[in-house]
Structure 1
């Protein structure tokens, strides 16, 4: 399910964003003596267990084996104090998607909620600002927005990894679906506004003969004007793409095609026990870039606009962390208006603190440039539980915020965001 978050400090209606995802699982008991990490991946499942005991979570027991569960999303809204907000005509949208945590007790599956969030500068931004980002961040959250809608042919227990765009006066979130057996596929829904999203039906993509029952997850949808086509980038194992002329309609997408014939040497030499996943494509005026992550490395490949979607090469590592949980998953890159600055979001676990999900951030002058960390520490993360408040004085429903996507000002390949007003949708744990 999805929930909407509002900034109670702001008189303006906040921008909204939407994203959903449930991939990795991390758990830690109240005393902080134990954590479980289970990566639900196509190619591996890694579990790390420390000493400790099982604890109660959301009224469900936490066991050593985790699977897919119910998903609900939360929409967040935030603001940057002392910074002028765009007027309604200037606002845009963006989506952010975090990984979800899942609990299982007998036959009861609970999937962590997704959080839809709007980013805004925190109190520290009130002082001197010379860059496009504030010194600290503040967020607020609503309740659920969208949840899984199983039917006879789709026993889904979660929806996650969302990507969102606007078309024909509707918002169209695409997302991953997962069932209790671990099968992942894709779906979309459409609504005029978030208040109606919970009632909108899910349109599953597997009836499309070009999609079928194959593994597919973590979609990203954007329009590529030179081809007059919309692309969905997703993982089928390796990074793949499909195209359509109408992503908001019931028509077919093309059969998935891989960006690469095989793993790149940079990946093979560095991935260890990790995987190649969470693919993100963005273009500037001359080139297209494909980002990916999972194992403490942030990879980047490049092609020219003339060659796109073919010709990706020169794969390199642009960020690396010795601890893979510090650079975990769900990277996405956005352009901040016309500032000339690009923002990269990457999901992480607070390994030096409570092992909760958070987002770190880096900036660069171009997608192909050097990435610098304005908000990459646990103490100054882009989003973490200590920066989030909940609507109407409700107690915190979660301390985890992960895998999301920033809602765009448009639908094109540049993934432009309005500076100082960045909506995010993230995954969070919940009792829903």
Structure 2
């Protein structure tokens, strides 16, 4: 998440102790999956992280960090949208590359040069809405906003921002009457599109509209989950798990060793979310289960997105392949003090290693 107001959350971030190494990630074979029937409790998630893949361009002295990535693979290229944090505030940017090894050298386009325009823009999400044959970019401009294009590879083609709501719903306002919603996320099933978001205070909200009405007609949000503020904080992202009849939701939380993600499963997007089995606090990814080939460059695992199996509004992931998650990692200089907007976030990729609760849902 990227706030429009200054804040200091550095107490959440503590340096990790030492470097670690892990074996190369590999997909589990059908025989190996058969040896672990669904009745066998899954082991905890385990991940291996890349080095930083996307960072502020060389010479961009006024940019401090890159955050909040959203990613699709289309026409044999990865298309990545993300937040920039700089001396001028928060904005959106885009980059594209054919292979992960090319990501560090890929040019970055600042989306304030498109009709999206300058001003506060943050926390993007991108998907192709097949019923309209349009790409949608969802982001926070204070309130939830969207732009569209017919060509995701042309960053200048996005339309000017439009709001989803004419006014802020009363039930997402705080005690002072200010909007308390952020990190907007849309996923659709066969009949409805669902808007999820958090409020940095332990509430996970959901609203809905019909496929036919989208992007208009969203209902008054309801609380889908409620926990302690630090245990259900921000940056939610939700996916359909191919072939399983299940949905996965990830929400960022906080603890002493940095930000981390927790995971829940549900049978329906408007159903009850239950903690994913396998580890304490339904841990998905964080400092305790991510290993690095080289230096431990990231303190925790923060706002990110899964690499999806497709591009459309169902946000489908394939449980039969090793999960990959593009995340923002905090690469701080030890002993240096930062204002919130100055935090040196970089984007890296974690890849799941071994069996886990999602790979156990593979039917192939």
Superposition deviation, residue 168 in structure 1: 2.2
Q: TM-score, normalised by structure 2?
A: 0.80
Superposition deviation, residue 247 in structure 1: 1.1
Distance 1:212 1:150, change over 3 A: farther
Confirm or deny that 1:425 pairs with 2:326: yes
Check the 8 A contact 1:376/1:382 in 2, yes or no: no
RMSD: 3.1
Distance 1:202 1:49, change over 3 A: closer
Aligned to 1:390: 292
Confirm or deny that 1:139 pairs with 2:139: no
Deviations 1:289-315 (CA, angstroms, capped at 9, x unpaired): 000002210000000001000000041
Confirm or deny that 1:317 pairs with 2:223: yes
Confirm or deny that 1:289 pairs with 2:194: yes
Confirm or deny that 1:338 pairs with 2:243: yes
Aligned to 2:38: 129
Check the 8 A contact 1:385/1:399 in 2, yes or no: yes
Distance 1:263 1:254, change over 3 A: same
Aligned to 2:354: none
Aligned to 1:366: 268
Partner SS, residue 295 of structure 1: coil
Superposition deviation, residue 414 in structure 1: 0.2
Aligned to 2:111: 205
Superposition deviation, residue 190 in structure 1: 1.0
Alpha-carbon separation, structure 1, partners of 2:155 and 2:140: 22
Distance 1:287 1:270, change over 3 A: farther
Confirm or deny that 1:249 pairs with 2:154: yes
Superposition deviation, residue 379 in structure 1: 5.1
Superposition deviation, residue 383 in structure 1: 1.3
Runs of 5+ in structure 2 lacking a partner? 17-22, 334-364
Confirm or deny that 1:232 pairs with 2:137: yes
Superposition deviation, residue 274 in structure 1: 7.7
Alpha-carbon separation, structure 2, partners of 1:201 and 1:48: 31
Q: TM-score, normalised by structure 1?
A: 0.68
Q: How many residues align?
A: 324
Distance 1:226 1:47, change over 3 A: same
Check the 8 A contact 1:78/1:138 in 2, yes or no: no
